[in-house]
Amino acid sequence: MIIALDTYLVLLSVIIGYQFFEDSYQFYDSGALLLTAVSLLVSHHVCAMLFHQYKQMWSYTGIGELIALLKGITLSAVMAGIVQYAVFHTVLFRLLAVSWMLQLLLIGGTRVVSRVLKERMGKKRSSSSRALIIGAGSGGTLMVRQLLQQNDFDITPVAFIDDDQTKHKLEIMGVPVIGGKESIMPAVQKLRINNIIIAIPSLRTHELQILYKECVRTGVSIKIMPDFDEMLLGTRTASQIRDVKAEDLLGRKPVTLDTSEISNSVKGKTIVVTGAGGSIGSEICRQISDFQPKNVVLLGHGENSIHSTHSELIGRFGKHVTFHTEIADVQDRDKMFTVMKKYEPHVVYHAAAHKHVPLMEHNPEEAVKNNIIGTRNVAEAADMCGTETFVLISSDKAVNPANVMGATKRFAEMIIMNLGKVSRTKFVAVRFGNVLGSRGSVIPVFKKQIEKGGPVTVTHPAMTRYFMTIPEASKLVIQAGALAKGRQIFVLDMGEPVKIVDLAKNLIHLSGYTTEQIPIEFTGIRPGEKMYEELLNQNEVHAEQVFPKIHIGKAVDGDWPMLMEFMEDFKDLSEAELRKRLFAAIGSTKEMAAAGAH
């Protein structure tokens, strides 16, 4: 259809041009007109093919497409002139010039009109959702263009908000820029806005927090466009808006790690993930499956969570990866050795652990059995079967531990560091802070409290923690496995710690409330909690990064005979004696041991 239309328009331009100068060309017979028409027609189609004119979608015509059209029409006129000169020994310049201008108007016009009509039809479609776009820059422009062009979105952009005063009272694709942040509330009321879309991907976190608070006052739905890196990777388009999440309002942007090295350590190999039903373990399984390992073994104690994760993975990756399930407890030493002998894994990610600080303070023996004895069982079983790499998921609470959970994680690190001295297996640990969205995160707790009408409980106004997303934590763990050389502790550069009270306030605002409607109450620091967390002891720090955003700490072995003695005796110890011996075994100071006992 495009070729047929262009053929008609080229011939029409020649006929009209010939009519203009018929008297000038009367000494030429009708063959001149025919030759000019044929040469222009053939050269036009050749040039159109050369510049991919017939592979373009008219509804997306822009400056680039029009420039390509100009080049093609100009080149075809030159080629037709060469043919004329070869036959008549002269060039009909006026005929070619008029034909050139008419082709630009007629053929270019069909492309532009097609796009205009599509956009106008999109704007006139019935829509129940009227959107105010925050940001009239490249992000907002891209957002509006896609919303106007795609009819499957029930969102109509009504106006732009931008603090750049030079854009005020102007229009972008027919959508007016009506003012800055101060115009958000009046615009929502006057224009009957249903949605506010924040379309500034480069917005800094503190700027987003200020803007979000202003938008929350309107009481309408608030959305945000994807990051530019997501659009560049093709995982999202500009129009795939989403709700603002707590992660967006944190003090830092989540880190995206370069996983190019991971494929060599994973593809075609057998991977075992303990705690595979948990938030971190299941995400490790998802991300590792992207690199097409031969087998992935999901090992966990909870049958429902393992079944759910297994079903999801089969649906997403079942064509390329074989998944196995093992319902087992890491405390069962014989079972761990049986599983490792059965699969002989190349890499083991050990995510199974007890992580809740207050619960482990009240159940220290269970923390020891799962976090220490369980780690030893899995690590020694991996060593026995010749595993290439063993990655322990540790915690920032293992640094100067003030609680049982942190102390057992520190102990687990020492176990694998000692094994690394005598084993061919590369033993490494990965430390990170709190994980947003995990079962142990404060986010689900805060959400439930908000749903009940409050109050939201925070232990102390100065309490701070490091935070990261589940995908980010999982990428770090997988990256550590690829970088492992043995006896290393990897730590993510997690930016600045976040105040828990600020996180609570942000979540209240995200839910559409104010702190007057949902109050915050301070309950006091719980047993075993620290006011702030650390990621490395001072004597562990290596200043340089071994990978962008990844630091490495020095291995601390501890006193192996003392560690062994504790593991043999802990079942016969009283709770007070267990705490004392635990902190002593990891070389904690008396002050820390006392804090832990308290």
Residues labelled as active-site residues: 397
Answer yes or no: are the C-beta atoms of 349 and 391 closer than 8 Å.
yes
- Rounded to the nearest angstrom, the gap between the alpha carbon of residue 6 and the centroid of all alpha carbons in its chain is 45
CA torsion angle 240 246 248 250 (round to 10): -170
Q: How many residues does the chain have?
A: 598
SS3 at position 188: helix
3-state DSSP: the chain helix, strand, coil percent, rounded to 5? 50, 15, 35
Rounded CA-CA distance 208/510 in Å is 12
Tokens 């201008």 locate to 101
- Output the CA–CA distances (angstroms, integers) from residue 511 to 131, 213, 449, 519, in the order listed: 19, 12, 11, 13
Six token digits for residue 13: 């331009």
Rounded CA-CA distance 568/564 in Å is 6
Six token digits for residue 364: 């220290």
HSE on the CB side for 103, CA within 13 Å? 29
CA angle 516, 519, 523 (to 5 degrees): 155
509, burial (CB in 10 Å: exposed 0-12, middle 13-18, buried 19+): buried
CA angle 265, 267, 272 (to 5 degrees): 75
Rounded CA-CA distance 348/75 in Å is 63
Answer yes or no: are the C-beta atoms of 566 and 577 closer than 8 Å.
no
Tell whether omega for the bond before 455 is within 30 degrees of 0, i.e. cis.
yes
